[in-house]
Structure 1
């Protein structure tokens, strides 16, 4: 989803970002001069309420993983006034300007998918991985098992 743009004005890259809850009407991209390969390409700066430019983020160069090999900028905007950092990507060039895109990050599922295929050699053939239930229709234990003794403390 496109949420803003940056264009060259008076020799500087200036722009804005706006969403339903965020309005950053005066942003700038300040080039970072560094020999470090891991340094960002730009600092993202914003005009604060005191009319001063403050850093609110940074952008690094990235290459699309798809066959296009497109080079773009990615980073985030963060400020104590935001609930969480806003991840952004910029597509375009210094000469033609940049479109600011945002995409909700996909959360990693630490437990894996909810539906798993049956394991090889699983005699139950059950696709859920837990086998058949041992509870009867009344909720009690069914089968030849001994009754549960609720009088024994754990």
Structure 2
């Protein structure tokens, strides 16, 4: 896995309500806000929306994230976000995961998905 970004929570009493940070790859660099949305009745509905944050135009929605729970290992039971952003300039969406590192710091990681054989 490659670390492609860092985020910090804006609300210490509810860390996953909003994360602000940066994603940086060879082909993309942007300041993002990951914001929790109201819970819907459909379990497949994203738990969060992702916005590109720009001084010129404010926030532009570029993706979504789903709250997940780690199911094994030392971090069993911890929450993380499975996220995806997209843009007309991308060949395909950029998918990544966001894991908590400490009390108010989160790391975005990317791993190339294996093609089905």
What's the TM-score, normalizing by structure 1?
0.60
Return the index of the structure with the highest Cα Rg. 1
Deviations along 1:82-123, whole A, 9 cap, x unmatched? 1110010000179522100000011000xxxxxxxxxxxxxx
Asked whether the 8 Å contact 1:29–1:43 carries over to 2, the reply is: yes
Unaligned runs of 5+ in 1: 110-154
Cross-structure match for 1:151: none
Q: Which moved more, 1:27-36 or 1:60-69?
A: 60-69
2:110 to 89, 99, 102: 102
Once the two structures are TM-superposed, the CA of residue 70 in structure 1 deviates from its matched residue by 3.8
The aligned length equals: 108
Q: Which has the higher contact order (CA 8 A, sep 6+)?
A: 2
Q: Distance in 2 between matches of 1:62 and 1:98?
A: 15
Asked whether the 8 Å contact 2:64–2:85 carries over to 1, the reply is: yes
Once the two structures are TM-superposed, the CA of residue 72 in structure 1 deviates from its matched residue by 1.4
Unaligned runs of 5+ in 2: 13-17
Q: Distance in 1 between matches of 2:35 and 2:70?
A: 23
Q: Distance in 1 between matches of 2:112 and 2:40?
A: 32
Asked whether the 8 Å contact 2:101–2:107 carries over to 1, the reply is: no
Asked whether the 8 Å contact 2:50–2:63 carries over to 1, the reply is: yes
RMSD value over aligned CA atoms?
2.5
Say yes or no: does 1:57 pair with 2:58. Answer: no
Matches within 5 A, 1:26-105: 26-36=31-41, 37-48=43-54, 50-67=56-73, 68-92=76-100, 95-105=103-113
Once the two structures are TM-superposed, the CA of residue 75 in structure 1 deviates from its matched residue by 2.0
Asked whether the 8 Å contact 1:32–1:39 carries over to 2, the reply is: no
What's the TM-score, normalizing by structure 2?
0.77
Once the two structures are TM-superposed, the CA of residue 42 in structure 1 deviates from its matched residue by 1.2
